[in-house]
Amino acid sequence: MFDGQIVKVIIPALNEAKAVGRVVETVPQWVDETIVVDNGSTDGTVGVAAAAGASIVREPWRGYGRACLAGLAAIGFCDVVVFLDADFSDRPEQIPRLVGPIAAGRADMVIGSRVFGGAEAGSLGRLQRFGNALSCGLIRLLWRRRHTDPGPFRAIRWSALRGLKMRDPTCGWKIEMQIKAARAHLRVLEVPVSHRKRSGVSRISGTRRGAAAAGARILATVARCALSDPPRPARPNRLIVFSRYPLPGRAKTRLIPALGPAGAAELQRRMTERTMQTALAARQQWNDTCRGPQADTDRMEVEVCYAGGTERRMRRWLGRGFRLVEQGEGDLGARMRRAVERALDDGCERAVLIGTDCMELTSGDISAAFESLHEADGVFGPTADGGCWLIGLRRNADVFDGVEWGTSAVLQQSLAKAADAGLSVRTLRALADVDTPDDLPHLPWRLPERPYLSVVIPALNEAASIEAAVASARGEDVDVLVVDGGSRDGTADLAARAGARVLTCPPGRAVQQNFGARAAMADVLLLLHADRTLPAGYVHHVFDALADPRCVGGAFEHRTDEPGVVMEILRRLVRFRARRLHMPCGDQALFVRRGVFNELGGLPELPIAGELHFVRRLRRRGRLTILPAPAVTSARRRRQVGPL
């Protein structure tokens, strides 16, 4: 063993009786097993190797790759596999140079470079040198990996090798391994090794015909790999923000008992926006430090992987400057796995995934995660309750499936999965996340102890309709105020019994609405006439509209409770005025951000059309949204005074 790692050596051999004994005897004593794969020798190679202490595996079908595959099939289990030739041109005593970086967790595969270490005069022919340079150049051109030598003397982590699914039966095996290692984003290191003239004459490099045939096989392997899975252009490192579109009742569901549906969704909105600010700041800081020829692939890009909304809604909410991808179907583990695999398959060297629950997250934490992936296969950010606030990988591995997400066992199970996949892992500092009501003290701001929306209903002698209006407005996260202007028909008593908070002031619709707005508790105001009713789920519609930071207010569609041609014509005219001319009226239940309402000085207290004047000023402050759900207006006035 080497530093606790089980190491086994595979030596393909064909008629190497003169050299194979010395090769086996020179292998360090700490190697757990040396396997010589006889590829159809006729000169006593098997007997010499067995006498030197090697295990013998027979593969009668000729081919370097076939011999290596036969050795792997017989190897059982180990941590590191070393390959070297049987002609004594490699130096087995230098095996520690190859195994050391893997045992230390700094590499997944180590190739002995004869270019760096020096080759004895005559050990490499001109055609062989040219072929080596050509194959390395093609790998660099197509897969953007720098190699100086496709030498046979190499070591690789056993778990990583299994994931490569090697199959080339010829001398293209070595090139196939390097290409597939590049695709799998393995950490490949080259170390200098010495190389001497082989014992005897090589059937490959010893003749021009053999060298040319070997070169053709290597080029064919490169072409096959390129055609079966075309090389993708290298992309920057990817930071994936896993988020959800904030919809009341669907976002932060474990916080609904404490905050209400809209309050929990509002918290989700604020937490996501704060996380995005941190992510974009980390990207800017990281990219500002990228210099040199690898700057393009060392840079960082941000992707938001979302659920619960549409791309249009997400873009309207969060803006531009990053990728948007839908999470898709499946449980949380499956969705996260797809996001990370997509990044690595796209050509990203490193992929880091974060959620939006940790308000202690800084741009430095994100940079530390990407820096950790220089040395490790995976990085995890633990939370105080046993979960993970970050998962990062540099190669595909199964660390997501089978984990009990949302429990205190997430980190422990994820680390166990990483160990099973043979990943070297780093962990970052522990952060607190916000998932349950007990976590709310970790927020960096104070939560408002008030409802999300206040509905202000001015009323004067509206006994016939006030109860229906109040009933349509009541709900969680809603403060309903009826401002009575001196009714004499019991309107105030009926409103109070229906569940509204009743205030009184002098009559006048605008006067009453302004009075109610000053007494409202929420940050969003909705002005509802007493003879109108709101649609079911209207709070969700208002919340969705105001998720757009450019939206300052809006109104509902207009509809009356009486059918007929005249009413349909009226509805279409109102729709045209609201949507095309951006001039909704009070009949459509106006809603507005309270801060904007106060900045405009409230509604002008005019005897007629005060709301219309207010809308004209409001639309200069930002976007007005006409919601698709209708607010139903009573047709009593039409019945009283006629349609015109």
Distance CA 476, CA 27 (A): 75
Distance CA 643, CA 62 (A): 96
Would you state the structure tokens that stand for residue 186, as one six-digit string? Answer: 């393995």
In terms of domains, do 121 and 167 share one?
yes
In terms of domains, do 535 and 432 share one?
no
Per-residue pLDDT band for 389 (boundaries 50, 70, 90) equals very high
Which residue, 205, 228, 251, sits at the end of a domain? 228
Distance CA 487, CA 484 (A): 6
Would you state the structure tokens that stand for residue 166, as one six-digit string? Answer: 């090697």
Would you state the structure tokens that stand for residue 170, as one six-digit string? Answer: 């010829």
In a domain, 1, yes or no: no
Distance CA 110, CA 101 (A): 8
Which residue, 442, 467, 491, sits at the end of a domain? 442
In terms of domains, do 321 and 289 share one?
yes
Instruction: Quick: pLDDT tens for 75-114.
Output: 888 989 999 999 998 999 999 999 999 988 788 899 998 8
- Mean pLDDT, residues 148-164 taken together: 89
119-125-130-132 Cα dihedral, nearest 10 degrees: -50
Q: Which of 163-172, 294-303, 341-350 has the lowest mean pLDDT?
A: 294-303
Per-state percent for the chain, helix, strand, coil, to nearest 5: 40, 20, 40
67-71-72-78 Cα dihedral, nearest 10 degrees: -150
In terms of domains, do 616 and 492 share one?
yes
* pLDDT score at 446: 78
Q: Global pTM?
A: 0.69
In a domain, 447, yes or no: no
Q: Which of 34-38, 142-146, 382-386, 591-595 has the lowest mean pLDDT?
A: 142-146
- Name the domain count of the chain: 3
Residue 639 has pLDDT above 80, yes or no: no
Residue 641 has pLDDT above 80, yes or no: no
DSSP 580: T
Return the higher-pLDDT residue of 27 and 291.
27
Q: Which of 44-48, 79-83, 295-299, 336-340 has the lowest mean pLDDT?
A: 295-299
Per-residue pLDDT band for 411 (boundaries 50, 70, 90) equals very high
* pLDDT score at 221: 81
In a domain, 431, yes or no: yes
* pLDDT score at 352: 96
In a domain, 448, yes or no: no
Share of the chain above pLDDT 90, in %: 47
* pLDDT score at 206: 47
Per-residue pLDDT band for 72 (boundaries 50, 70, 90) equals very high
- Mean pLDDT, residues 464-470 taken together: 92
Distance CA 504, CA 487 (A): 9
Distance CA 133, CA 162 (A): 27
Instruction: Quick: pLDDT tens for 248-300.
Output: 888 888 888 888 889 899 999 999 999 999 999 999 999 988 765 455 567 89
In a domain, 250, yes or no: yes
In terms of domains, do 437 and 467 share one?
no
Which residue, 390, 418, 442, sits at the end of a domain? 442
* pLDDT score at 484: 95
Distance CA 200, CA 19 (A): 9
3-class DSSP state of 112: strand
In terms of domains, do 307 and 241 share one?
yes
- Mean pLDDT, residues 194-215 taken together: 63
In a domain, 23, yes or no: yes
In terms of domains, do 466 and 370 share one?
no
In terms of domains, do 55 and 185 share one?
yes
Across the chain, mean pLDDT equals 87
Amino acid, single-letter form, for residue 373? L
* pLDDT score at 291: 64
Residue 582 has pLDDT above 80, yes or no: no
In terms of domains, do 67 and 188 share one?
yes
CATH number of the domain residue 112 falls in: 3.90.550.10
Whether the Cβ atoms of residue 575 and residue 557 lie closer than 8 Å to each other: yes
Q: Residue 186's domain spans which residues?
A: 7-228
Residue 241 has pLDDT above 90, yes or no: yes
Per-residue pLDDT band for 401 (boundaries 50, 70, 90) equals confident
Per-residue pLDDT band for 366 (boundaries 50, 70, 90) equals very high
Q: Which of 70-79, 538-547, 625-634 has the lowest mean pLDDT?
A: 625-634
In terms of domains, do 205 and 349 share one?
no
In a domain, 82, yes or no: yes
141-145-149-155 Cα dihedral, nearest 10 degrees: -150
Return the higher-pLDDT residue of 374 and 282.
282
In terms of domains, do 40 and 177 share one?
yes
In a domain, 2, yes or no: no
Instruction: Quick: pLDDT tens for 471-530.
Output: 999 988 899 999 999 999 999 999 999 999 999 999 998 999 999 999 999 999 999 999
Residue 233 has pLDDT above 70, yes or no: no
Q: Which of 537, 470, 534 is nearest to 498 (CA)?
A: 470
* pLDDT score at 398: 81
* pLDDT score at 99: 94
In terms of domains, do 116 and 259 share one?
no
